[in-house]
Amino acid sequence: MNIILLGPPGAGKGTQAQRLVEARGMTQLSTGDMLREAKTSGTEMGQKVAEVMAKGHLVTDEIVIGLIREKLEAGGNGFIFDGFPRTLPQADALNELLADMGQSLDAVIEMRVDKDEVLVQRVVNRAAEAVAAGKEPRADDTAEAMQERLFVYYKQTSPLLGYYYAKGMLQGVEGLGTMDEVAAEIAGILDA
């Protein structure tokens, strides 16, 4: 089973993806994690990623699709796309890749959160919890950075909601529920 988790930053996509990894043995494909891993892998694709990132450039969709292809070829018990696709061209590229590999997308789940202030507070709290635990908080877990991330999300990623709705694939869960409530809603969609 291959799924996409969509939703604004701070909606809990990473938390729910981790729960699916633990409960169902799925593999979380987080673009950021894949890029960091590739950069230090020593593979041909990893060298491309390292060169692009060293120059401070954004990694191309072609490179990201190549990294996803490598992960899919390695096999697994289903994949959770987290942070990809972010744009309509990326959604088309993912569809083509899955079709080339004889796979499909089984569900696109939108984690709905209709209050930006709740999202901002979540990341500020996440930063505070990291500090309290003696860990370094994420650099972008500030109210100002979160406002910018939300702007980018609404501009670039929210069109995917219409894209997947038109394909009859979009299903929503209430992202403001407790972690267990959200997990139960997602499980209900996947088990249907």
Digit-coded pLDDT (tens) for 86-124:
889 999 999 999 999 999 999 999 999 888 898 898 888
> Has 13 been annotated as catalytic?
yes
Query: Is 69 annotated in the active site?
Result: no
Cα distances (angstroms) measured from residue 127 to each of 34, 135, 139, 143: 23, 9, 9, 10
The two tokens of residue 55 are 């120059």
Is 36 noted as a catalytic residue in this protein? no
Please tell me the pTM assigned to this model.
0.84
24 labelled catalytic: no
Q: What share of the chain is helix, strand, coil (3-state, %, to 5)?
A: 60, 10, 30
Choose, from 69, 71, 112, 126, the residue flagged as catalytic.
Answer: 126
Catalytic entry in 36, 138, 155, 167: 138
Instruction: State the Cα–Cα distance between residues 84 and 18, nearest whole angstrom.
Output: 16
The length of the chain in residues reads 192
